[in-house]
Structure formats: C-alpha cells, structure tokens
Amino acid sequence: MSTRHTRYNKEIDVLHEISYLLGRAKSNSDMYRIAVEQSIKNLNIDRIAIFLITGPDSVQGTYGTDIEGNVVDESWFTSTIEEHVFASKMIQERTFISFQHHTSLLHNFANVGMGWNGYVTLWDGNEAIGWIACDNLLTSLPLKPSQVNILKMLGFIVSPKYC
C-alpha cells in the first residue's frame, strides 16, 4: 500500500471518529467545540472557526481558534454576513468550498498575518446555514490537496448535525 493511500485511509478514519464524536455531543455548542478541537488536533488545520447564519443578514460565531492556536468560545461574536466578503460571495454563488492564497489573515476583522484561508459553506438543502473558516496562520504551511478534500468532507459532516 502506498504512503499516499495509507495517509488517505488515516484521514478517513479521523473523519469517521469526528463524526462519531459529533453524534454523541450533548448540545450544538458541544458539537461545534468538538469539531474545532478535533480539526486542529487530527486534521492538521492551524486555525478553524464555525459561524452560523442567524437571520437574513446576521451571523454568529460558535467555537474557533485564537491567534495562538487555543480553542475559544466565540458565541459572543456577531456581525452582518456582508462583513464577511468572501463567505458572502460564496453563499450568493452557491460555492461549497473555496480558498484564497497569499491573503491577509484576520481575527475579529483585524489583520494578524498572511497566508491561505479557506471557507466551507454549510447547507441545509438549498439554504445556507453557516460556514467553516480556516487558515494557516500558525505554521504558514502550504495548503495540501488532501486538506481540501478533508475540509469538504468535514463540511458534509457538520451540516446535517446542525439541522
């Protein structure tokens, strides 16, 4: 078995474990925390956050990663969807996953570095319910093709759990 195939199987096993843990979460809040913790710990994602659409033009944070890599409760964070230009465009164009390279990395709308960032939109049928945001602030490592697929699958796992 090739190294690439072995690594892919390991990533699938990790996603299965994350799905199992999310299914056993006691609350939505617990589920978001677990998704963020497991993504950082087992999917080699530097920073990740989950945002939920709470109204026609409003979004609220759940859990995410601060600029030092700590998992933090971000349920206090609210803003308009339009303030998140990249995510807003993805939702309007019904794009499921997209990345920006060599871009400003933000934390609470403040520039904290440069690198890649990605968004995975979360859907309930045809309705956008939120998104996962991630970046490489801590390590500055390039985005790997396997990370794109893993994040895509993570979006599919998190979306139905929200509903």
- Digit-coded pLDDT (tens) for 21-43: 999 999 999 999 999 999 999 99
Spans of all domains in the chain: 3-162
* DSSP 8-state assignment for residue 161: H
Q: How high is the mean pLDDT of the chain?
A: 93
Q: What pLDDT score was predicted for residue 1?
A: 60
pLDDT band at 9 (very low <50, low <70, confident <90, very high): confident
- pLDDT tens sequence across 53-70: 999 999 999 999 999 999
Question: The tokens of 56 are what?
Answer: 């026609």
Topology (CATH) of 3-162: Beta-Lactamase (3.30.450)
Q: What pLDDT score was predicted for residue 7?
A: 75
Q: What share of the chain in percent tops pLDDT 90?
A: 85
Model confidence, pTM: 0.92
Pairing of strands 127-135, 47-55: antiparallel
Question: The tokens of 157 are what?
Answer: 């796992």
Give the sign of the dihedral formed by CA 139, CA 140, CA 146, CA 152: positive
Q: What pLDDT score was predicted for residue 85?
A: 93
Euclidean distance between CA atoms 157 and 1, whole angstroms = 27
What residue type is 155 in one-letter code?
G
